[in-house]
Structure 1
């Protein structure tokens, strides 16, 4: 589905290096500028720090190592890589403040120019070019629309931060990209933003004091990190099957440097670029990035830094989010009723059961659930599928480790399971009544057992089997998704 909406006809890899015969043609000018800018940033800041800088300034993560990305994910700092509300807010806020105070310092302009509106217009223009340069992900689009609504409110002298601006951003994004609704980026972005706006609006309405003036920035930071982490935790757990035990501490130590040092230094580096002095801004920026990566590495090294959960049924997360929206949107004591569906969803999540047997859509991989976790039929191959199954089980083991005891686990209840891979195995495959045979190929003869071969799997997609006593229940991917444009083969003309 993701590939279909992205317009990708095929994906693959090569075991040998590729040779570029000629440059790509008709490449968008903005894409050329984006990657040229990312290369420039990496030439100024070397190593992982430069890759991080290119990711947050140009949205290009191609140079980041998987180890660094995993470290950030396991400490709940991966959101710093996504050009979203934090980056857009810091950038537009910095530009707005710089233009506003710059105009105030000029006696000739101070009383002749609408300073706040001029600053808002300048910040909006810069934010728009940042949107184009970053690649325009859903999170960046949402952040730009939020910034546009907020800066537009300055023009009309209306309240800048409200749930109406969040709703406006959501409607615009969904009108432009309806498929974004099911993506983790959209869900996490709007969950965090909605929660933050609702909480700070409640603090304002109830006139809650955050302490003395010197303590307020730290209290605001703590509340922001805590609320955003709490709001996005269920979405992250449902989609990625993990949560960071030390995420709050890591965010408290890393996010302030992002706002106070990294983003402003990046803007200054761009302003000094025409003068050939951008290295000064990049030097300061590198110091902040080094601290962020150090914090991530420190907490990721702790035992148990990453917790895992089982993937819930689809309706569980929807029920939980609807309850949370009730708490955020309703008024008075009525909002407490929103807690009920959240508690019910949490209870249903805790009772989630995973399939006893999973069969991939190609028949090349089979997974059997045992008391010690899922056992896989192959130590290598179908790695993406294997990772997905284990993650959804809340299992941190590698594919190789999960395949060590396949022979012992392939007999499940009253249904012994056989798996044939390779031409010789497929040709010799056989089974008896009451058995299950999975064939990674086309079986040309009838057998007395339950067979899943290439022909059948082409119609069903991946298959999940549940054993309830002596009864076998089957659920197929096609039954779950139906026939869609992205999962239906079309005959060639």
Structure 2
């Protein structure tokens, strides 16, 4: 909406109540005049605001919102939609919108069409990439194929293999891609053809109901299994060419490796890892303490190449080229140096996009930057909601599955907040052209500090719902960390990195990496200091997708609307916060293999019974419970007793939960416990509520909470509820007859606690 529209909306808002209502009030008694004039006037004001919001140019920013809502509906389906039916529905709605283009219902028709189109696009992509998913572990598989990507991690390396030959003795279908872990420093080069033996595991399903679905991510990447290389990885001559995509990936990976090798000559440790992350996007080798401190302090966004990095790269190149061209007097008069500088900045941003791996946040950043620079070249206004809307639509068309990824959600929420801040206008405390020289000098630093603080605050608030939902934490000191670190990153770290890239061909890059190291040292010091402050980790217990959707609607309304209707977004954010905080937490969590069980003890904290040591799962469970304890904390075993047959622990109400390892211990547990998780064959007449290993194979991980009714049973939520059948989580063929419902349980006196003896832990895989 243009300035005239905003002024008109404000003028209409100020005329409430209307003159007609005022005249009616003058003729009526006090109480009657108030009642007669209030509601008609309020309704008229609301209509004025609605008309202002529906003005010319106000529809486009809501189109990607409706498009994304259609994608979200696809992921909420119980089984795979029919793609051609979804496409036909979108086409019908599109024709209807075209026919209604001169009707008042046209905006609604466009939004419905966008909604249907989003659903159809993701359904078509899922059909296009459809591939089998490994259902059961394969202990030894012989694989041959091309290496597509390679990652360096803190303890191991990892690569994705595009499989051309696979031998598993007929126990698994042919898989398109697998992701394998190897010893650190032994991952093969991207583009090479290798053969190896590997242990393959199904993609990791959610670790608890409502948790993030890693298997869904892998499915849309075309990865059907993960696992470990057994023995050496042998490089061979390929039987055929790998294709242009593989050659491009190998070229870019070789460039990243060359840059990392040059940085490695000057830096080491976390400084080298962070410098590489900022230049090439490879951030997996950063040590865990520093990585955690960066995210706890609110500086984690620096490690993910996004809008800030793209803006710095484009900005540095733009001003450098413009300043260089301005040194030639003839060009300043006859040549549009500003447009030439914008073109050079666009080329630099495109190269940075390719070099950094083109993740979702980087794609969005490049598209936003490209639209801004193109607007400069055609003399148009750049930073608008239309720019953001176009970027969102392009990203969702290319990768619709990115909608459910935290990177997409947080990136666009932060950008929406910042664009809204620009559209509303920065505070008027800054110096203007009419200010005196003394005033401009006095306020010079205040402008930059205030802008940085305000931008950090707005971006942090906009991303809070998504950080709380996905990572179960917020960053209360994020503004402090950004104020201390970001000026150094902007003025020293990123410019030095760009100069290092430019100086590499001449062998003069070492000094720039060392300058970069000074700034990175400061950033690490700030992140560790802020992360150590009292209350730095704002832990939030897990909540469902309902509060997140309500909060997302609140962020959209607060950011996109221009009239006072925007404050409805604040009301929705308040409701979503209350809903999230009041979400009941489960009393019992059961892993998908049944080997780990967490239950809430009398003190309200989780206790752990296990036959295995999957530390990643325990960390995720504790984080979702807003529990600060480490995965190996001794207090997790308080009140838990184990022997060779199993483990037993008491709930807050005194009822026992038993984890039975052997068949001869299940009968005793059935007679005395409230709930039994049986890894062995249970007796047919078990009196307790029974969770069998066969049931867990079909349902996945379970979360149980007490039924508030009089029967005293459990309400159970499963990762794979009955009827769910999606390509990344197919329904098992042999579903057991029993179902984890909320049937009442029989209470019997508990058995005496056995002696503490934790059983030996079998090997577990870590998908962190």
CA spacing shift, 1:44–1:486, aligned 2, 3 Å: same
CA spacing shift, 1:373–1:65, aligned 2, 3 Å: same
- Kept in 2: contact 1:414–1:434 (CA 8 A): no
- The separation in 2 between residues aligned to 1:411 and 1:12, in whole angstroms, is 36
- Kept in 1: contact 2:413–2:463 (CA 8 A): yes
Q: Please, which of 513, 518, 530 is the counterpart of residue 282 of structure 1?
A: 513
Aligned to 1:209: 429
- The separation in 1 between residues aligned to 2:723 and 2:373, in whole angstroms, is 41
Aligned to 2:556: 325
Residue 441 of structure 1, CA deviation: 5.4
Aligned to 1:482: 724
Q: 1:369 aligned to 2:600?
A: yes
Q: Structure 2-normalised TM-score?
A: 0.60
Aligned to 1:190: 412
Q: Please, which of 443, 447, 468 is the counterpart of residue 686 of structure 2?
A: 447
Q: 1:406 aligned to 2:640?
A: yes
- The separation in 2 between residues aligned to 1:23 and 1:286, in whole angstroms, is 39
- Kept in 2: contact 1:38–1:60 (CA 8 A): no
- Kept in 2: contact 1:93–1:123 (CA 8 A): yes
Residue 240 of structure 1, CA deviation: 0.6
- Kept in 2: contact 1:364–1:382 (CA 8 A): no
* 3-state SS in 2 of match to 1:218: helix
Q: 1:314 aligned to 2:545?
A: yes
Pairing of 1:143-154 with structure 2 (within 5 A):
143-154=365-376
* 3-state SS in 1 of match to 2:720: helix
Q: Where does the alignment leave 5 or more consecutive residues of structure 2 unmatched?
A: 1-215, 432-442, 642-647, 734-768
- The separation in 1 between residues aligned to 2:454 and 2:236, in whole angstroms, is 49
* 3-state SS in 1 of match to 2:227: coil
* 3-state SS in 1 of match to 2:671: coil
1:349-370 per-residue CA deviation (whole Å, 9 max, x = no partner) reads 1211111111111111111123
CA spacing shift, 1:198–1:72, aligned 2, 3 Å: same
- The separation in 2 between residues aligned to 1:19 and 1:486, in whole angstroms, is 30
Q: Where does the alignment leave 5 or more consecutive residues of structure 1 unmatched?
A: none
- Kept in 2: contact 1:440–1:454 (CA 8 A): yes
- Kept in 2: contact 1:376–1:399 (CA 8 A): no
Q: 1:473 aligned to 2:707?
A: no
Aligned to 2:659: 419
Q: Please, which of 504, 517, 539 is the counterpart of residue 273 of structure 1?
A: 504
Q: 1:12 aligned to 2:249?
A: no
Runs (4 or more) in structure 1 with deviation over 6 Å come to: none
- Kept in 2: contact 1:380–1:400 (CA 8 A): no
- Kept in 1: contact 2:604–2:652 (CA 8 A): no
Q: Please, which of 116, 119, 123 is the counterpart of residue 341 of structure 2?
A: 119
More moved, 81-90 vs 31-40: 31-40
> What is the aligned-residue RMSD (CA, Å)?
2.4
Q: 1:388 aligned to 2:625?
A: no
Q: Please, which of 364, 367, 371 is the counterpart of residue 142 of structure 1?
A: 364
**Larger Rg computed on CA atoms:** 2
* 3-state SS in 1 of match to 2:304: coil
Q: Structure 1-normalised TM-score?
A: 0.92
| Count of aligned positions | 484
Higher helix fraction: Structure 1 or Structure 2?
Answer: 1
Residue 172 of structure 1, CA deviation: 0.9
- The separation in 1 between residues aligned to 2:656 and 2:225, in whole angstroms, is 36
More moved, 438-447 vs 40-49: 438-447
Higher strand fraction: Structure 1 or Structure 2?
Answer: 2
- Kept in 1: contact 2:595–2:612 (CA 8 A): no
Q: Please, which of 203, 213, 217 is the counterpart of residue 2 of structure 1?
A: 217
Residue 100 of structure 1, CA deviation: 1.3
Aligned to 1:178: 400
- Kept in 2: contact 1:461–1:478 (CA 8 A): yes
